[in-house]
């Protein structure tokens, strides 16, 4: 099924206020659970992180975090429900898609669904004037690939001028699909190494590698794009590419209660964050 043949569908558009990492991850999971229970609708969400937060992939070892440095910098850290490696969330737009596994936009395997959903990302970037593409084939291996997510693009991810721009990850539970990802709008992407447990003498080389392989929208476009402008353009992109009617609506009281539960019992708990 091509993007143009998707059946038209109405989803919720949810733009939440800036929140800490534990809250952001709890909200994504709350929506997924509520949808599995038939108590909400498929959702496209855009959000920000305050304070800046280092997120670890589901199976990444928490020893990768330099906890003392994070505290000194005013960063928090959290474990995502999705895979991949560490991301420092700041100066960015984060998106999440939560829908049923039967939705043709996410049907089939994980990579196939990444490719379909990336059509929304690519179209949204075009709305901003950025001609991004999906990486084809396997990207060159980074010999120093380590704990940071953006140091090597995967073959399905969104690149701009040959550098990774959008990193995404996915989890499937309760016959639902949650995919979220990050679009760096600006700032210094090498700041992540200040938050990771990496020998000081390796950080300069890792920073050079990262700048050669990953980028921000501002760096490539030569202008600043605000969160609001990026969210508006990406919403139009998802709507056009995936045949969605996006209706703005807030979290329900039930979703808010679930989010508070998941935040308290999972995303702020050592049993979750330090489980690996």
Can you read off the two tokens belonging to residue 198? Answer: 């990496």
Q: Is 180 helix (H, G, I), strand (E, B) or coil?
A: strand
The contacts of residue 209 (CB under 8 Å, 6+ apart) are 142, 144, 151
The dihedral through the CA atoms of 222, 227, 233, 234 has a sign that is: positive
Quick check: bond before 226 cis, omega within 30?
no
Q: Is 139 helix (H, G, I), strand (E, B) or coil?
A: coil
Residue 63 class from Cβ within 10 Å (0-12 exposed, 13-18 middle, 19+ buried)? exposed
Judge contact between 67 and 274, C-beta under 8 A.
no
Residue 149 is a catalytic residue: yes
The contacts of residue 105 (CB under 8 Å, 6+ apart) are 6, 99, 113, 116, 117, 242
Give CA separation, 160 vs 10, 156, 163, 211, 244, in Å: 30, 13, 5, 13, 25
Active-site choice (34, 54, 119, 149): 149
Q: Which residues are catalytic?
A: 149
């Amino acid at each position: 099924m091509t993007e143009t043949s998707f059946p038209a569908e109405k989803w919720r558009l949810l733009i939440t206020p800036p929140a800490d990492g534990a809250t952001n991850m709890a909200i994504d999971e709350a929506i997924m659970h509520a949808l599995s229970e038939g108590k909400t609708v498929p959702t496209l969400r855009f959000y920000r992180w305050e304070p800046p937060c280092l997120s670890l992939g589901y199976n990444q070892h928490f020893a990768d975090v330099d906890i003392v440095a994070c505290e000194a910098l005013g960063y928090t850290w959290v474990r995502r429900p999705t895979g991949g490696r560490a991301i420092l969330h700041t100066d960015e737009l984060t998106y999440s898609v939560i829908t049923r596994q039967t939705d043709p936009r996410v049907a089939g395997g994980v990579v196939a669904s990444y490719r379909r959903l990336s059509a929304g990302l690519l179209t949204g970037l075009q709305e901003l004037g950025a001609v991004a593409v999906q990486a084809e084939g396997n990207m060159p291996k980074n010999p120093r690939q380590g704990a940071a997510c953006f140091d090597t693009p995967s073959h399905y991810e969104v690149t701009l001028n040959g550098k990774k721009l959008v990193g995404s990850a996915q989890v499937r539970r309760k016959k639902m699909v949650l995919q979220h990802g990050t679009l760096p709008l600006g700032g210094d992407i090498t700041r992540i190494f200040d938050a990771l447990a990496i020998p000081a003498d390796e950080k300069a080389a890792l920073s050079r590698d990262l700048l050669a392989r990953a980028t921000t929208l501002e760096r490539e476009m030569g202008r600043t794009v605000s969160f609001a402008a990026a969210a508006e353009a990406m919403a139009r992109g998802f709507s056009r590419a995936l045949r969605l009617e996006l209706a703005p609506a807030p979290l329900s009281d039930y979703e808010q209660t679930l989010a508070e539960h998941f935040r308290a019992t999972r995303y702020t708990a050592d049993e979750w964050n330090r489980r690996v």
